[in-house]
Structure 1
Amino acid sequence: MYETRFIARGNCFMSNIRDIAKEAGVSVTTVSRVINNHPYVKEEKRNKVMQAMKTLNYIPNHLAVNLSRGKSRVIAVVFPWITNPYYLRILEGAIKQASLHQYHIIVIETHYKEDEEIKALEMLKHRSIDGIIFITKQLPIDVIYDYEKYGPIVLMEKNDHLPYIFINQYAAMKKALNHLMSEGYKKIGYTVHRNNGFSANERAKAYATLPEDMQYKEFIYVSGLSLTEGKQLAQKILKQMNLPDALIVTNDAHCAGLYAEFQNRGIKVPEDIALISYENGELSQVNNITSIDLPLAQMGERSVELILSDSATSEELTSKLIIRKST
């Protein structure tokens, strides 16, 4: 028998189920069964317990109830920066789906620090959470594998062991490259945030399919994700002797920064340089930027479904190129 704690509305003290049992004139076991929606409780006694809770102005601490059942009903979503709209759209989908199943989402912001990712995995080990969704990660995959025995883990990159939900980044990059080549662009570059990440590797593979005379190592930029960092990258690019005539950019915010700085410097888009962004959020729509539409909210929804599924089936989502005035 566990003891469920109660929190008093408008009071500063806590009590336990014995207070409710005394007020209702029933046993502690009966109160516990009512709280846990046990079917074998007479309606008369159930009503007495509910009335006692109302009279004493108490509400049950459902977290304690869930933990006593071996479930926290909490899923952790792990990603580097909470300020990035790209990640927030995935998070929005995860929250929506979790709420449908009466689960809660907590966010763990890591800044790509391995020790922060380990802390999240340790929460799973100690049953503080029921599952983890890694939007992106820094830890070696083998380290994450070691924690699978403690609960479900979903990745947003393809792998051979854990359930995953991912967007085919190779195919997305090919769509962008093919569009630019069809428009006559020959000096194509692209940006990545980490040159050793899963998405960066897939984009590099796609870029390597270009004819050799169209591959420019100096046009592959390891840069940030923010609008400000996009402006800074534009300034760096314009100092080069040899300039790209088209860029495929990591996300909308970074692309918006590039676009704004190019305009400030008198560089015309798309006449002087074409731009394509990943994401297709509000910034690309407002600025009329050609964008690779990524089903980010759907990724969040499906990742929660994988966490809660008894027979998780990994899934690949597709992207769509939305052509606007920047190309």
Structure 2
Amino acid sequence: MTNIHDIARLSGYSVSTVSRVLNNSGYLSDTARNKIQKIIEEQDYVPNDVARDLSRGKTYNVGIVLPHTKHPYFTHLIKGIMETAFAKGYHVVLLPSLYNADIENQYLEQLRRKSYDALIFTSRGIPLKRLLKYQKYGSIICCENPGDYQIAAAYSLRSKTFTEAFSYVKNQGYHEIGILLSRPRESSTTSSLTLASYEAVYGATPKIINTSVTTYQDGYNAMAGFQKNEKKPDFIFANGDDVAAGARQYYLDNELSVPAMMGQENQLSGNILNIPTIDHHFHEVGRKAMELAISGEIKMIPINSELIKR
């Protein structure tokens, strides 16, 4: 197989001169450029990207670990990440995990083997402590507050806004709150923050809750479950505007009175339905996470979230 040294020998020019042709950099005479280019075409030579990356110590690839793309949290993050990556000349590799710790450990091993310059964990199934062990192999960024762990992070400040939201709901006179979450409290930072904020405002643990809701259809099915178990919330606190839309549709399809609702992520559906929502600005979180991946800095970047009343 032809390599750059063969091209240099056949053309009569140095390896560094051939490299300038391949990278279209530096000054070269037309004679030298044309001769080297002719040899490259005759030999059907293609540079080895892996070898190039190893030589320069950089792949310009960033792995994005995400459990799924069913919820706008992940799609908004990815949009922000990709916009920044494109502008900076980086490639983004999506790494699905389904919260499987074994799979996530495989991605960490790939970072150790220099498959990526950095990994961004949009969410995770492994402990933060595990991430610390791999920081010496490349940048690792999480999209949550890492607390006392010295891990680079970009994340939305949600606790204050969740508390503000539940206070708003309580002040409207609602007390039977149906809360829709994607995962149980013990395995999700978001669920933990949501429930802690509810308890701070209402002084009690919520009685009407579903912790397996991610999509429009899940919202619809959750209401069917509430109805079957004779749970009658007067307000639905959904983890997405589309989820709230699914919940609303269940009541309409079954000719039931639709309770008041609040969504999250400021989606088009929430605007159309004119329901209050919380915008966590995950697009901006994604942008900042990618900037950290590129810079290699270990610092925390909090982004304010926002309650939108309608």
TM-score scaled by length of structure 1:
0.84
- Residue 192 of structure 1: which of 167, 181, 189 is its match? 181
Give distance in 2, aligned partners of 1:293 and 1:226.
Answer: 17
RCO comparison, higher one (Cα < 8 Å, 6+): 2
**Alignment equivalent of 1:110, drawn from 73, 79, 97:** 97
Cα pair distance change 1:63/1:284, threshold 3 Å:
farther
1:7 maps to none
The 3-state SS of whatever aligns with 1:210 is: helix
Structure 1 residue 188: Cα displacement: 2.1
Using the alignment, how far apart are the partners of 2:33 and 2:280 within structure 1?
A: 50
In the other structure, the counterpart of 2:73 is 86
DSSP-derived class of the 1:111 partner: coil
Cα distance change on mapping 1:282 and 1:48 into 2, 3 Å: farther
SS at 2:299 equivalent: coil
Instruction: Determine what percentage of the aligned residue pairs are the same residue.
Output: 28
In structure 2, the residue matched to 1:263 is 252
- The counterpart of 2:195, out of the listed 198, 204, 207, is 204
Of 295, 301, 304, the match for 1:315: 301
In structure 1, the partner of 2:13 is 26
Give the Cα separation in 2 of the matches to 1:86 and 1:35.
41
Unaligned runs of 5+ in 2: none
Q: 1:119 pairs with 106, 119, 122, which one?
A: 106
CA–CA distance in structure 1, aligned partners of residues 51 and 71 of structure 2: 33
Matched, 1:286 2:277: no
Deviations 1:143-191 (A, max 9, x none): 1211111111011111121011111221221121122122221222322
Structure 2 vs 1, CA of residues 102 and 219 (structure 1 numbering), >3 Å: closer, same or farther? same
User: Could you tell me which residue of structure 1 aligns to residue 213 of structure 2?
Assistant: 224
* Aligned pairs (5 A) from 1:57-76: 60-76=47-63
Contact (CA 8 Å) 1:176, 1:248: kept in 2 or not? no
Counterpart residue identity of residue 171, structure 2: S
Amino acid at match of 2:292: L
8 Å Cα contact 1:189-1:216 kept in structure 2: no
For residue 145 of structure 1, the aligned residue among 124, 127, 132 is 132
Match of 1:9 in 2: none
User: Residue 236 of structure 2 aligns to a residue in which SS?
Assistant: strand
Distance apart, 1:216 and its partner CA: 4.9
String of CA shifts for 1:102-140, please: whole Å, max 9, x gaps: 110000111111111111111111000000000100101
Q: Give the 3 Å change call, closer, same or farther, for CA 228–211 of structure 1 in structure 2.
A: closer
Supply the distance in 2 between the matched residues of 1:27 and 1:211 (Cα, whole angstroms). 75
- The amino acid across from 2:232 in the alignment is L
Q: Secondary structure at the match of 2:207?
A: helix
Per the alignment, residue 254 of structure 1 pairs with: 243
* TM-score, normalising length: structure 2: 0.88
Is the 1:75–1:130 Cα contact (8 Å) retained in structure 2?
yes
* Coordinate RMSD, CA, aligned: 2.4
Whole-angstrom CA distance in 2 between matches of 1:122 and 1:36: 31
Match in the other structure for 1:245: 234
Partner SS state of residue 278, structure 1: coil
Quickly say closer, same or farther: Cα 1:204–1:83, change in 2 above 3 A: closer
Aligned length: 305
Q: 1:281 to 1:48 in 2, by over 3 A?
A: farther
Select the residue among 118, 122, 138 that pairs with 1:135.
122
Conserved 8 A contact 1:166-1:315: yes
2:4 aligned partner? 17
Q: Distance in 2 between matches of 1:96 and 1:304?
A: 9
Give the Cα separation in 2 of the matches to 1:24 and 1:282. Answer: 60
In structure 1, the residue matched to 2:154 is 165
Give the aligned residue type for 1:66. Answer: D
Deviations 1:233-292 (CA, angstroms, capped at 9, x unpaired): 0101112334221121112332222121122122334xxx11111211223223333211
Q: Which moved more, 1:298-307 or 1:76-85?
A: 76-85
- Aligned-partner Cα distance in 2 for 1:256–1:57: 57
User: 2:223 maps to which residue?
Assistant: 234
